[in-house]
Structure 1
């Protein structure tokens, strides 16, 4: 499915569901964004993942654990103790 809706400073270019049943959307932040390969996944297991225009990523496993990776590769882990 294709879309051109404006949302929080980005345009949703396309959305869909992959063969594993996980939802994804491709996002465009404009021509001045450092990266044009931006997306978001919402997975059936409750986890989700973002690839941001600055090259950073954010992953949450859906169980209270998350990892933010900066554009330079530095990782910040956070856990609220749920398993």
Structure 2
């Protein structure tokens, strides 16, 4: 089973190119992940977007600006 850059295991669900010509990839991290169905887009204009398994999000507009949204606090964490 492959692992991502944080060492989390996943299985590929789907990948391809949408009607706008942008590449996408979806991954299944299992029921234990905050975001079980993580995905990313790589767009023709150079921008890209990640919805990560820990619930965080990352967007880069391809022209030097980027935004990161950290995962929401978990109710189980103290």
CA RMSD of aligned residues (A): 1.5
Distance 1:25 1:54 in 2: 17
Counting strand residues as a fraction of each chain, which structure ranks higher? 1
Instruction: Give structure 1 stretches of 5+ with no counterpart.
Output: 73-83
Give deviations 1:36-75, integer Å, cap 9, x for gaps: 1210100000000000112110000111110000123xxx
TM-score, with normalisation over the residues of structure 1? 0.72
Runs ≥4 residues deviating over 6 A: none
Bigger shift: 26-35 or 50-59? 26-35
Give the match for residue 57 of structure 2: 57
Instruction: Give structure 2 stretches of 5+ with no counterpart.
Output: 73-78
TM-score, with normalisation over the residues of structure 2? 0.76
